[in-house]
Structures are given as C-alpha cells and as structure tokens.
Structure 1
Amino acid sequence: MKTSNHLLYCHLKKYASFEDSDFPQMLSYFEELDLKKKDIVMKAGNLCNHNFFVMDGCLHMYFTSEKGTERTVQFALEGWWISDFLAYHNRTNTDFNIQAVENTKVLAISYEKQEQLYHDFPLFERYFRTIHQIGYGASLNKMKYLHNLSKEDIYLHFTEHFPEFAQRVPQYLIASFLGLTPEYVSEIRAKKRS
C-alpha cells in the first residue's frame, strides 16, 4: 500500500492484522496536520483531546518548571505516538506542551474519534495496548539509567543507543531530556572529541 500515510499502515501491520481494504476507512478517523518548526500542537493548561502519530519530523513534549525552565520529558520521531496519555485518558487539562522540533507532519486523532475507532475496529484496542506497554517499558528503562548511571554515562548511553536523536535534535533539548545542562553536554562532547 503506497499512500502518503504508508508509515501508519506499516506500523499497524507490525502489531495487528487487518484487511488492506479497511485501511482507508481507518484513516478517515485521523486529521493530517503540517507543523512548522516551533509550532505548538498541544498547550499546557488546555484539555488534552488528541493523540499524535508522527509521519515525518520530530516533536518534543515538555513542561515549564516553577523557575521558568523548560524540561523535555519525551520525543517522538517518525512512527512514534505522543500525547499526555494520562490527561488524554482522564479527559483533563494537560501540564505539558508538545512542540515541533523541525517541520513535522502528524496524524491527529481526537479522543472521541479514537473511542469510535475502537468500536468500529477492535484491533486498535490491542494495537494501542501493545504500543503503551512498549512505551511504559521504555520509560522504566529511562528511570533506571537516570538513577544508575553517572551524568556523563547517561549522555553517552543515550547518544550511542539513539543516534537518530543525537543527529537531529538540538543538544539543549537532549540535555533537558536527560536532566543535564547544555553547558555540561558541551563539556562532554568536547572531551569526547579530544
């Protein structure tokens, strides 16, 4: 199946079985959004009513601390889902922003349409359960590394295991995600080069 939404098709096929002829109808529940770099697609303080699938580009989710510092908690590249899943599930306002790191194309699905999608295509319940289990496992691994490794080793582990991020995402966002300062990341990079 060659469409502009080929990535979602392949991702679904990886985790669920369905008839190819059903895919166009499944796709009708989504809205395609083209975001420019720095566009905010979810704003803190607003109802979290959408789940986003990245087709091209990169998003990051962050909150602003009491001191006014932005703290990145999640990234999403092509083939990844991103939302404040707890606020989305509870139908509440979010404490997070989701912003485009670069020009990005996403498929957005509202809470209401996702519920209807579950009803019309039950395979999506299994699909999202699998996606959320994988995401939860990844967040546990992140916590393990943050508690177990030195700050330098956290950065080196991240850049070695996720080179696509290291090449595409600005260093200050990686630093924020790992709980480091941009200055410290610069020191590590300089030391690694020498």
Structure 2
Amino acid sequence: MKALQNHIAKYIDINVDKFEELFDYFKVIHVRKKDHLEMYTGPVFQHNYFVIKGCLHMYFLTEKGDQQSVQFAIENWWINDPLSLCHQKESEFQLQAVEKSTVLAISQSDQELLLTEIPKLERYFRVMNQIGFGAALHRIKYMYEASKAARYFQFVERYPQFAQRVPQYLIASFLGLTPEYVSEIRAKNRS
C-alpha cells in the first residue's frame, strides 16, 4: 500500500490520516504468470488495478484468434478497460499477468465511494486519466507516422523498463509488428 500512497503523493497533497481510510477500499490480489485478472468475474471489468509488483498486459483476440496487445502496466501504473468498468458492459479486452504480479484492485462502486469520502482524489484520478489518454494519442501518432523499425526503437528508447521485461512477441503485437520482424531489426541493429 505504501507504493500507492507514494504515487498519490506525487500528484496531490493529501493528509497522511486519509491514507488509512483509502486502503479500506482496496483489496490485494496476487496473480500468477499468465493468469487473467478478470477470469472469475466474467466479461465485464469489475475493478481498476494498480500494479504494486509485476507486469500486466491488456489484449484482444483478432478474428484469426491471435492476441493483439494494446496496453502494458508495471509498478505504479493503473490498468483497466475504462468503458467496461464505467458502464458495466462487456469488455472486448482481457487482462493477463506477464509475470507474477501483485495488484491493488478497487471496484467502480468503491472508487465512487472513495471519491466522495476523499474528494481530493478526484484530481489524482483525473491526472491519471489524462496521462493515459495522452499516451494513447502518442501511440496512435507513432502507428501512423513512424516506420516499423522506428516504432520499435522509439518504444525501446521511451520505455526501456518494458523492453527489458515484456517478451518480444508481446512488444511486436503492441507495435503491430511480427515477432520475426522484431528479431530481424534487433539483429541488424546489433551488427
């Protein structure tokens, strides 16, 4: 819980006593590598997740049945399907642990109660949404603008912490590339 407290404190000024109240709204979930986080609750996202330790990825299945990665989260990152969570509608995405992970989970209803109890957190969650939305816009821009090789090397340069922990086939999927192509450009870059 200290990780979440430190993360919140980076974005808003909040009384330390309020953090004790905050923790009552979350549950700790330990996830094994390759397990799905929403596997027991059905196709509707029930929680917003904050990664304490580990790495998660969100994906959808293509018509061919392949996984298409759309988002990653490591320590101090939030991840969810906001439309499914907010509207309680079936998600088109699945959330899976890339490595053994520990996450804090808060339900939509508990998050609403929390925001009523501690209104300052509205600003924190707004900032988190702005950062996430901005990152999504930049990803779309790179997908249209950059060459395949440039997409890969921009990702590695911008997010070295992911490049070191996420398997190459998932990075390739995230960037709209094949794993073979990623191997090829990495080999060319080494020589």
TM-score (norm: length of structure 2): 0.97
Match of 1:6 in 2: 2
How big is the shift at 1:45? Answer: 6.0
How big is the shift at 1:42? Answer: 2.3
Runs of 4+, deviation exceeding 3 Å:
none
RMSD over equivalenced CA pairs, Å: 1.2
Match of 1:53 in 2: 50
SS of match in other structure, 2:106: strand
The one-letter code matched in structure 2 to 1:55 is I
2:183 corresponds to which of 169, 183, 186: 186
8 Å CA contact retained: 1:154, 1:178: yes
Give ranges in structure 2 of 5+ residues lacking alignment: none
Give ranges in structure 1 of 5+ residues lacking alignment: none
Q: Say whether 1:95 aligns with 2:102.
A: no
| Superposition map of 1:75-94 within 5 A | 75-94=72-91
SS of match in other structure, 1:169: coil
1:20 corresponds to which of 16, 23, 39: 16
The one-letter code matched in structure 2 to 1:30 is F
**Alpha-carbon distance in 1 for matches of 2:148, 2:132:** 23
**Alpha-carbon distance in 2 for matches of 1:192, 1:167:** 16
| Superposition map of 1:39-188 within 5 A | 39-43=35-39, 46-188=43-185
8 Å CA contact retained: 1:45, 1:95: no
The one-letter code matched in structure 1 to 2:94 is N
SS of match in other structure, 1:57: strand
**Alpha-carbon distance in 2 for matches of 1:45, 1:22:** 33
**Alpha-carbon distance in 2 for matches of 1:137, 1:161:** 14
8 Å CA contact retained: 2:54, 2:100: yes
**Alpha-carbon distance in 2 for matches of 1:45, 1:121:** 30
Identity %: 51
Q: Deviations over 1:83-141 (max 9, x none)?
A: 00111111111111100000100000011111110111111211111100111011100
**Alpha-carbon distance in 2 for matches of 1:22, 1:133:** 24
Q: Deviations over 1:51-106 (max 9, x none)?
A: 00000110000000111010000000100000001111111111111000001000
8 Å CA contact retained: 1:60, 1:75: yes
TM-score (norm: length of structure 1): 0.95
How big is the shift at 1:47? Answer: 1.5
**Alpha-carbon distance in 2 for matches of 1:95, 1:169:** 22
